[in-house]
Amino acid sequence: MGTEIALTIGGVSLSYAKNHMGMDFGFLFQEGDESHRKLDGIDYEYYQEHPEEQADLEDYESVFAKPLARVLPRLTLLNSTIEAARAEYEAIVADAIELASYADPPEPKPPLLSFDEYCALVCRYPLTSLTAGYIEEDEEAKGRLKADKDFDRIPWTDNSNLFWSEVSYFGAKLAILSAESMLHVFALNPANLTVDVVWEFGPLWPAAGLSDTRLS
């Protein structure tokens, strides 16, 4: 249990914190982007049994949300670019190659994807096409993605094995860049531009006093 703070797009987690503010993504949003949504992690049965606490539920369901197409100009204001995403990815690849060189004996693996190949893989599956239903068995949770061998050519991260559904597998394997860089990569597929970027900030937002960080 605890308060979870997350930035997501189409169910893919881009940034996550629990019981603390984490990264401030207020700069992506403006007045009028406030909304309420049903969120994972909220015990809705409890609030059905305790209607007098409905106001608290509304705080927990508080989010900022708007389509990716409207988030991109906010990134541009902060000089975030697809070329910065390229440099970030290439640095991750270089670290992975260096780490692999220390293996004795070297473990044979397929070559890692170039940045352009990585972007093509991310864009191969529109976010709205991914299923989110919980599946306990790892191989089944991968869904149709398990047949795509390009997923084996992505640099490994600490989160690579943290998945329980098709969409979480997609995110665990591919969302390896900063949130800002991932948004640029997702935007390369026009089908993703209408998908909402959602900051689930819950009840911590008013306490943190971060509204002044939003750009006009």
Q: Which residue has the tokens 């937002």?
A: 205
Dist CA 128 CA 120 (whole Å): 16
Are 89 and 150 in a shared domain? yes
The angle formed by the CA atoms of residues 208, 199 and 10, to the nearest 5 degrees, is 170
Q: Is the preceding peptide bond at 105 cis, omega within 30 degrees of 0?
A: yes
Are 128 and 71 in a shared domain? no
Are 32 and 66 in a shared domain? yes
Are 101 and 12 in a shared domain? no
pLDDT: is 17 or 215 the higher one?
Answer: 17
Model pTM?
0.85
Q: Which residue has the tokens 């394997």?
A: 173
**Where in the sequence is the domain holding 10, given as residue range(s)?**
4-77+195-213
pLDDT band, very low/low/confident/very high, at 190 (cuts 50, 70, 90):
very high
Are 36 and 69 in a shared domain? yes
Task: Give the tokens for residue 189.
Answer: 């597929």
Domain count, the chain: 2
pLDDT at 42 over 80: no
Dist CA 38 CA 41 (whole Å): 9
pLDDT for the residue 4: 72
pLDDT in tens, 59-68: 677 789 999 9
pLDDT at 28 over 90: yes
pLDDT band, very low/low/confident/very high, at 55 (cuts 50, 70, 90):
low
Are 20 and 118 in a shared domain? no
Cβ burial of 15 (10 Å; 0-12, 13-18, 19+) is middle
Percent of the chain with pLDDT over 90: 58
Are 116 and 40 in a shared domain? no
Strand-pair category, 196-200 with 4-9: antiparallel
pLDDT at 205 over 80: no
Q: Range with the lowest mean pLDDT among 71-85, 98-112, 131-145, 188-202?
A: 98-112
pLDDT: is 166 or 162 the higher one?
Answer: 166
Are 69 and 89 in a shared domain? no
